[in-house]
Chain A
Amino acid sequence: MNISITVNGKVYSHDVEPRMSLAQYLREVLDLTGTHIGCDTTGCGACTITLDGNAVKSCTLLAVQADGCEVTTIEGMANGHAMHPIQEAFKENHGLQCGFCTPGMVMTAADILKNNPNPTEEEIRHGLEGNFCRCTGYHNIVKSIRHAAEKING
């Protein structure tokens, strides 16, 4: 089936099997391997991207369902070589250890801050319920998102 998806501002058209997940499409067809596949069953959140502005788990979305949609992946967050404020905040606050969950954490953080520019610690933790960090770095991840909010709000 032929689909056309805008990913990080660029339009891509491909003929894909209906059973291909969006995560697979991003990684294997577009070579955007920043989107990680962890549990592959909607649990861990490593594959989180934004679809028309909302955070979703791309392992549980068929590429054909994203036909005509706008997708942002972790590769689309930086502005050239300038990191996105959320990425900067993760770097400065040691918000990552092994880094596997980080792309999903950053994309979910973007959704949290879009809907709530000045979240409390509790609201951040509630927002991160769908993202697992097995290094158990949650404390610094929450700190990073708080810091990112401050950066963005100036």
Chain B
Amino acid sequence: MIPAKFDYKKVSSVKEAVDLLDEYGYDAKILSGGHSLIPAMKLRLNRPEILVDISGIHGMDSITEDGNEIVIGANCTHSAIVNSELINSELDILAQTAKCIGDVQVRNRGTIGGSLAHADPSADYPATVLACDAKIEVEGKNGKRTIAATDFFQGIFTTALEDDEIITAVRFPKVTNGNYQKFFQSASRFAVVGVAVVKEGGSVKVGITGVSDTPYRATAVENAYSGNTGEAADHAVDGVEVMSDHFADAEYRSHLAKVFVKRALEA
């Protein structure tokens, strides 16, 4: 399978990328690892006129500590996250999440910025980004802004990013007590259900992916949580339209969501 023809431009600065997005609008796509985009282009689900390769932008693959936060460049691969000492010691839940994405080859190429911008409803990171209350740093022709995780995901493959904006980094608070639990789609290894739980004192924050067409904070679980995990987990899909496909219908998916929320709360 060969994608439709496109032009390719490798840029060396965010500004250069933003200028091209501004010029080409919807016909331009950002290329980082390409592990969501290239398969979609081969299947002709996506036919951009130009690919803007941001993988060479200096410093966009760094992982740094900034006070009580960890700042992860958008071009960081899943492998870089899995292997980062800083993330393993200060943000272990993200290493856990990255470790169960795809397979080793995919993790060696796919990036956190690319995954978040693509917003696949079964991607792993969104659950963790939501549960951690991370902030997405973006840059566009009108400058920089920061988007709260809870405002970022807007629907299937849809985010709060404007056409001329790219993700430059993701800013996480340090998290000492968090975990990610996942039921794998056995062939694709995407999440049929993915649940991230962050515990702080007596309260919890719960992010869920794979269940609805938009990843969400399970506020009903958070409100019901008081140590009785089973009871709280029963609220995993309250008010949510649950996805259904040939692999997991809505009833089964709802059941899995409750089971995995319970596991994540108890882990």
Chain A positions within 8 Å of B, measured between CB atoms, are 1, 17-21, 24, 40-43, 45, 48, 51, 54-57, 60-62, 64-65, 67, 108, 111-112, 127, 129-131
Contact among A19, A48, A65 with B5 in the assembled complex (CB-CB below 8 Å)? A19
CB of A52, distance to nearest CB on chain B (Å): 10
Add 4 more A-B contacts to A41-B43, A60-B109, A62-B8 (CB < 8 A).
A18-B7, A55-B108, A57-B106, A60-B34
Whether a CB of chain A sits under 8 angstroms from the CB of B169 is: no
Give Cα A28–Cα B35 distance, bound, in whole angstroms.
22
Residues of B contacting A55 with CB < 8 Å? 104-105, 108
Contact assessment for A43 and B187 in the assembled complex, using a CB-CB cutoff below 8 Å: yes
Give Cα A58–Cα B3 distance, bound, in whole angstroms.
15
Closest A residue, CB atoms, query B102: A130
Which chain B residues (1-44) contact chain A, with CB distance < 8 Å? 1-8, 10, 31, 34-35, 38-39, 41-43
Give Cα A60–Cα B114 distance, bound, in whole angstroms.
14
Q: In terms of DSSP, what is the predominant structure of the interface of chain B?
A: loop
Contact assessment for B6 and A18 in the assembled complex, using a CB-CB cutoff below 8 Å: yes
Residues of B contacting A40 with CB < 8 Å? 1, 42
Contact assessment for A42 and B35 in the assembled complex, using a CB-CB cutoff below 8 Å: yes
Contact assessment for B8 and A54 in the assembled complex, using a CB-CB cutoff below 8 Å: no
Residues of A contacting B189 with CB < 8 Å? 129
Contact assessment for A130 and B188 in the assembled complex, using a CB-CB cutoff below 8 Å: no
Give Cα A3–Cα B35 distance, bound, in whole angstroms.
21
Give Cα A43–Cα B186 distance, bound, in whole angstroms.
11
Subset of 26 A-B contacts with CB under 8 Å: A18-B8, A19-B41, A20-B2, A21-B2, A41-B43, A42-B39, A51-B108, A55-B108, A56-B108, A60-B39, A61-B38, A61-B109, A62-B8, A62-B31, A62-B34, A64-B8, A64-B10, A65-B31, A67-B10, A108-B104, A108-B105, A127-B104, A129-B102, A129-B104, A130-B103, A130-B104
Contact assessment for A65 and B104 in the assembled complex, using a CB-CB cutoff below 8 Å: no
Give Cα A17–Cα B31 distance, bound, in whole angstroms.
16
Q: A56-B108, A65-B55, A130-B103 are in contact. Are A19 and B2 (CB under 8 A)?
A: yes
CB of B9, distance to nearest CB on chain A (Å): 9
CB of A112, distance to nearest CB on chain B (Å): 7
Whether a CB of chain A sits under 8 angstroms from the CB of B112 is: no
Contact assessment for A60 and B38 in the assembled complex, using a CB-CB cutoff below 8 Å: yes
Residues of B contacting A19 with CB < 8 Å? 2-6, 41
Give Cα A139–Cα B41 distance, bound, in whole angstroms.
35
Q: A42-B35, A60-B35 are in contact. Are A130 and B106 (CB under 8 A)?
A: yes
Which chain B residues (118-156) contact chain A, with CB distance < 8 Å? none
Whether a CB of chain A sits under 8 angstroms from the CB of B51 is: yes
Which chain B residues (202-237) contact chain A, with CB distance < 8 Å? none
Contact assessment for B104 and A17 in the assembled complex, using a CB-CB cutoff below 8 Å: no
Q: A18-B8, A60-B38, A65-B53 are in contact. Are A42 and B106 (CB under 8 A)?
A: yes
Whether a CB of chain A sits under 8 angstroms from the CB of B97 is: no
Residues of A contacting B53 with CB < 8 Å? 64-65
Residues of A contacting B5 with CB < 8 Å? 17, 19
CB of B50, distance to nearest CB on chain A (Å): 9
Most interface-central of A17, A45, A129 (chain B CB within 10 A): A129
